[in-house]
Amino acid sequence: MKISVDYARCEGHGLCADQAPDAFSLDDDAELTYHFEGLEVPDEHQAAAGAAVNACPVAALRALS
Protein backbone atom coordinates (compact mmCIF):
# COMPACT_ATOMS: atom_id res chain seq x y z
CA MET A 1 0.00 0.00 0.00
CA LYS A 2 1.09 3.55 -0.73
CA ILE A 3 -0.42 6.66 0.83
CA SER A 4 -1.08 9.88 -1.01
CA VAL A 5 -0.83 13.02 1.14
CA ASP A 6 -2.56 16.27 0.18
CA TYR A 7 -0.33 18.65 2.13
CA ALA A 8 -2.42 21.67 1.09
CA ARG A 9 -5.49 20.09 2.67
CA CYS A 10 -3.73 19.05 5.91
CA GLU A 11 -4.69 21.25 8.87
CA GLY A 12 -2.17 19.76 11.33
CA HIS A 13 -4.63 18.00 13.64
CA GLY A 14 -2.04 15.27 14.25
CA LEU A 15 -4.43 12.33 14.40
CA CYS A 16 -2.35 10.53 11.78
CA ALA A 17 0.75 10.92 13.93
CA ASP A 18 -1.19 9.59 16.93
CA GLN A 19 -2.29 6.52 14.96
CA ALA A 20 0.97 5.85 13.09
CA PRO A 21 3.93 7.70 14.65
CA ASP A 22 6.41 5.68 12.57
CA ALA A 23 4.77 6.95 9.38
CA PHE A 24 3.69 10.50 10.24
CA SER A 25 4.93 13.34 12.41
CA LEU A 26 4.23 17.03 12.85
CA ASP A 27 6.96 19.61 13.29
CA ASP A 28 6.80 22.57 15.67
CA ASP A 29 4.74 24.51 13.11
CA ALA A 30 2.21 21.63 12.77
CA GLU A 31 3.56 20.82 9.29
CA LEU A 32 3.13 17.17 8.36
CA THR A 33 6.02 14.89 7.49
CA TYR A 34 5.20 11.56 5.88
CA HIS A 35 8.15 9.23 6.38
CA PHE A 36 7.31 6.82 3.54
CA GLU A 37 6.76 9.47 0.83
CA GLY A 38 6.86 7.77 -2.59
CA LEU A 39 7.41 4.35 -1.01
CA GLU A 40 5.31 1.35 -0.16
CA VAL A 41 4.33 1.36 3.50
CA PRO A 42 6.27 -1.51 5.12
CA ASP A 43 4.09 -4.46 6.09
CA GLU A 44 4.62 -3.93 9.81
CA HIS A 45 3.23 -0.37 9.55
CA GLN A 46 0.29 -0.95 7.21
CA ALA A 47 -2.39 -1.44 9.86
CA ALA A 48 -1.40 1.72 11.73
CA ALA A 49 -1.04 3.71 8.49
CA GLY A 50 -4.49 2.56 7.37
CA ALA A 51 -5.92 3.69 10.72
CA ALA A 52 -4.22 7.06 10.21
CA VAL A 53 -5.87 7.46 6.81
CA ASN A 54 -9.26 6.74 8.37
CA ALA A 55 -8.62 9.11 11.29
CA CYS A 56 -7.83 12.19 9.19
CA PRO A 57 -10.72 14.62 9.76
CA VAL A 58 -10.05 16.57 6.53
CA ALA A 59 -9.35 13.60 4.22
CA ALA A 60 -5.79 14.75 3.47
CA LEU A 61 -4.63 11.12 3.36
CA ARG A 62 -5.64 8.49 0.82
CA ALA A 63 -4.57 4.86 0.66
CA LEU A 64 -3.56 3.67 -2.79
CA SER A 65 -3.55 0.04 -3.82
Contact 53, 62 (CB under 8 A): yes
Residues with Cβ within 8 Å of 21's Cβ and at least 6 positions away in sequence, in order, are none
The domain segmentation of the chain, as residue ranges, is: 2-64
Q: Which fold has domain 2-64?
A: Alpha-Beta Plaits (3.30.70)
**One-letter amino acid for residue 37 of the chain:** E
Tens-digit pLDDT profile for residues 6-51: 999 999 999 999 999 999 999 999 999 999 999 999 999 999 999 9
Predicted TM-score (pTM) of this structure: 0.93
**Nearest residue to 26 via CA among 46, 47, 56, 1:** 56
